[in-house]
A and B are shown apart, each in its own frame.
Chain A
C-alpha cells in the first residue's frame, strides 16, 4: 500500500532522513517511534506531500512520488488515497462538526450538499458522536475533537490513515476513546501508519513497531 525507498531529507545542514525505506502492506498497522526530533513527523508528512524530500521515492498504491520543488502537487494523486490526523486536531473553528466533516466532500468531490451532510452524520455516529453534528469545535472535549478529525479524514474515503501523535494531547479516557475508534478501523481493514511515543498505542493496536533513529529505521 505504502512504500518508501531510500528517502533522504535534509533541512539546511541537518540530515533528518538518511535513506529511509519502509513497506506497509494493505490493512497493516505500523507505528513509528523514536526520540524527539528524530524526524518522525517529517517522514509521515513526506508521504502525503506536506513535506518534500530530496532523494528516493515514495509509492502510494498506484502512485509514485518523486522529489519535487512543489511537494504538495507531486503528492496530489497519492493524497486522494490518504487521510491525515494531527496531534492538535486542526478542526475548522468556524464550521460545525458536521460541516467540518462534509466540507471536503462537498467542495473537493462535488458531492451534493444534503447527501454529504447526511454522510457526515453517519460518520460522526460511527466515531461515537451521534447528536454532536451542530456543535462548534470549541465546545467539544479533546477526545471528541480528535474523533471529529478522524471522521473528517474518513469522509474522503482514504485507504490509509496517517496519524501524528493523535493521542498525545489527550487525557487517559480520551485516549482510549480515540484508540477504540482506531482499533475498529483497523479491524475493518484500514491501513494505519501512526507516529507515537506512547507504548499504550503500540500495544492497544497490536502494531508492527519501527524505530526512527539517526535518520534510519530499525526494529525495536
Chain B
C-alpha cells in the first residue's frame, strides 16, 4: 500500500490536469474539405470553413473552447467510439443509420443534393437523364441515393476529382451536397448546375457518443440559441450558404431508410471481389506479355536493346505503383491522353509488374545451365529450337513459384486502385464498413473472400511444381 500511494497520487494528479483542460475535441477532415473545414490557401497552417466559424460560435455560447482535431472523414464515428473525439461535425447527414450509431444533435444546416453537368451537355436535365456514371463521394447521402435508384456511380475520395473528371468526360455528372458544388463547381465555365426537384434535402448535425447525453443537450441548446440569435445565419451568409431551405423546418429522418443487412452488403462485397479478380488477371496477363520480350532482350539482345530493357526494369522497380497510377490517370490528360480508370489501372499494374516478371524470367533462363545449350547444339538443334524445346520448359518450372507469389502480391496490391476511383474488394470493404460500422463482420467476410482466391492459387502452384519437378535432375 505504501508503494501504491505515490502511484495513486500521480494518477489523481494526471486526471486533475486532464480535467483542467476541459476542451471539447471536435473532429473533422480538413483534407480538401472546402467549404466545411479546410486549410486556408493563403495560410495553410490555419483551418477555415463555415464549420470552423460555427465551432467558434458554439465555444462562445458554451463558454468552453472547441478544439479542432484532424480526423479522416469516413472514420469520424469510430473516432467518437474510440474516445479520440467528443464531437464530430463535418457535413454529417442525418440518416437512420447514423442516428442508430451516435447521438445526433439538432440540425445546423439543411442541405440539398446538387446535380452538376457539363455546360456542353444539354441532354442532362435531371439525374435520370444524365449519361454515364455519376460521380460522388463515398458514404454520403448522394451515394446512397444513387444506390437506391440503381444508377451507375463512381465513388471518389476527394471533392476536387469528381468535377475534374466531369470536365474530362470520364463521368456524366456529379451529384454532391450543395455546399460542395457551390465551392468547387459554381465558377467553372465548363460546368452547369442542373435543377432536379426530385433530389432530396436533408440535415447536417453534430454527432456525439450516445453516452454523452448531457453534452448532447448542451449542444442542442447552443445550436437553438445560435439559430434564434441569428448568429448561425450570419455564419452561413458569410460562406454564401444561406438560402430559403434554411428557413423551412424539415421533418428530421425523412431520408431513405438504409439498414445494413447481410443481404445488402454481401452482394456489394462480392462485386468488389469480382473487380479485384478481373483487375488482377488482366494486369498479370499484360505484365507477362510485356515481360517475355523484356527478359529476352535482357538475356539475348544486342547491347543497346539490353540497356533499354534494363532501364525499363530499373525504372518500374524503383517507382511506386501508386505514382504510376496517379500519373496515368491524372497526369496523362494534360498531354491529351484520357484513359478510363480501368485502362489506367490495368496498364499501371501491367507496366509495373512486367518489370518484376521480366526479372523472374531472366533469372529462370539463367538458371538453365549452358551445358544444356551445348548438348542441344551438339545434336544439331538450332538456337531457336533449343530455346523452345529445351530451355523454356525448364525455365518455366523455375519461374512458376515466384510468378504465383507475384500474382498473389498483385492480387493484394490492386487495393491501391481506389485512388483512381475503381472500387475493388478492399475499397468496397472500407466503404461498407464505414457506412455500416460493421467493421468486424464485413472485415471477416472480406478476408474470407481474399483467402478463397489466394489459397487455391497457392495450392495450384504447388501442384504444378510437384508435377513438373518429376523431371528434375
Contacts and interface: CB of A to CB of B under 8 A. Distances in A.
Contacts of B188: none
B380 A104 contact: yes
Given A107-B385, A107-B389, A138-B473, A93 B378 contact: no
A79 interface: yes
A153 interface: yes
Q: Dominant SS at the B interface?
A: helix
Interface in A72-103: 72, 76, 79-80, 82-84, 86, 88, 90-96, 103
A83 B381 contact: no
Q: Which of B374, B375, B393 has the most CB of A within 10 A?
A: B375
B378 to A, nearest CB: 4
B464 to A, nearest CB: 13
B379 A156 contact: yes
A94 B394 contact: yes
B381 A108 contact: yes
Interface string B358-398: 00000000000101101111111100010001100110010
A137 B471 contact: yes
Q: Which of B372, B374, B468, B473 has the most CB of A within 10 A?
A: B473
A164 to B, nearest CB: 10
B187 interface: no
A86 to B, nearest CB: 7
B2 interface: no
B473 A137 contact: yes
A44 to B, nearest CB: 11
Nearest to B371: A90
A152 interface: yes
B470 interface: yes
Contacts of B471: 93-96, 136-138
Given A136-B470, A138-B472, A108 B380 contact: yes
B373 to A, nearest CB: 9
A82 B379 CA distance: 8
Given A93-B394, A93-B471, A138-B473, A50 B378 contact: yes
A94 B468 contact: yes
A104 B379 contact: yes
Interface string B452-473: 0000000000000000101111
B379 A152 contact: yes
A72 B472 CA distance: 28
Contacts of A91: 375, 473
Contacts of B377: 49-50, 72, 79
A33 interface: no
Contacts of A191: none
A144 interface: no
Contacts of A94: 393-394, 397, 468, 471
Interface in A57-80: 72, 76, 79-80
Nearest to A149: B375
Contacts of A72: 377
Contact of B379 (A76, A88, A103): A103
B372 A92 contact: yes
Nearest to B378: A84
A82 B473 CA distance: 26
B470 A48 contact: no
A79 B379 CA distance: 8
Contacts of B472: 93, 136, 138
A177 to B, nearest CB: 20
B371 A108 contact: no
A138 B471 CA distance: 7
A142 B379 CA distance: 21
B352 to A, nearest CB: 31
A90 B380 contact: no
Contacts of B374: 50, 86, 90
A72 B370 CA distance: 14
Nearest to A105: B379
6 contacts: A79-B377, A79-B380, A82-B378, A93-B473, A138-B471, A156-B379
Interface of A: 48-50, 72, 76, 79-80, 82-84, 86, 88, 90-96, 103-104, 107-108, 136-138, 152-153, 156
Given A104-B381, A136-B470, A137-B471, 4 more contacts: A82-B378, A92-B390, A137-B473, A156-B380
